[in-house]
Each structure stands twice: as C-alpha cells, then as structure tokens.
Amino acid sequence: MRSGVATASAPAKRPAAKPQGAKPSLQGEVALARWWKVALLVLLGTIGLPLAHALFGGVAAMLGGAVLLGFLLGRWTAT
C-alpha cells in the first residue's frame, strides 16, 4: 500500500435494522402515567363539574369543563 493513494475497501457495516412489528406493550411507569390521567379525568367529571356548578352556575361550569377538557386532551394527545 502506498502512502497517499486511496484504496477500495469494503463498505462500512451498518447497524442491523430494527424489526418492523407491533409496538411493545406499555409497561411500568408509562402505563401508570396513563391510568393517572384517566383517574384525573374521571375525578374532574364527577367532583369538579358539580362543584363548579354549585359555585359558578351551570353555564360557567359547562364552559369551564369544555375548555379544561379540550386543553387536557390536547396536551395528552400531542406528539
């Protein structure tokens, strides 16, 4: 091999491709975080809306609930 002359060599090896299949199941903290969100949504519906209705009236409770639900669902489904 002479100095300064490029030689042809085998192409660099690429890492093996990940298999394309089903997503891994939710485990541990991810699943727990999802259920906490569900529990929060249920509590807001069963406790928060009647409380807001008692304090602010029906229209304000429905508008506040719709805004809060839209915000929460938007944050939870953001990619």
pLDDT band at residue 63, thresholds of 50, 70 and 90? very high
> Hey, what amino acid is at 79?
T
Q: Is the predicted pLDDT of residue 2 greater than 70, yes or no?
A: no
Q: How do the domains of the chain map onto residue ranges?
A: 28-76
Instruction: Please compute the mean of the pLDDT values over residues 52-74 and round it to a whole number.
Output: 93
* Cα gap 52→49, rounded to integer Å: 5
Residue 52 in contact with residue 60, Cβ under 8 Å? yes
Tens-digit pLDDT profile for residues 13-52: 777 766 666 565 667 777 788 888 889 889 988 999 999 9
The C-alpha atoms of residue 38 and residue 65 are separated, in whole angstroms, by: 16
> What's at 70, amino acid-wise?
G
8 Å CB contact between 18 and 31: no
Here the tokens at position 29 are 């903290």
Residue 1 has pLDDT above 60, yes or no: no
Nearest Cα to Cα of residue 50 among 38, 41, 58: 58
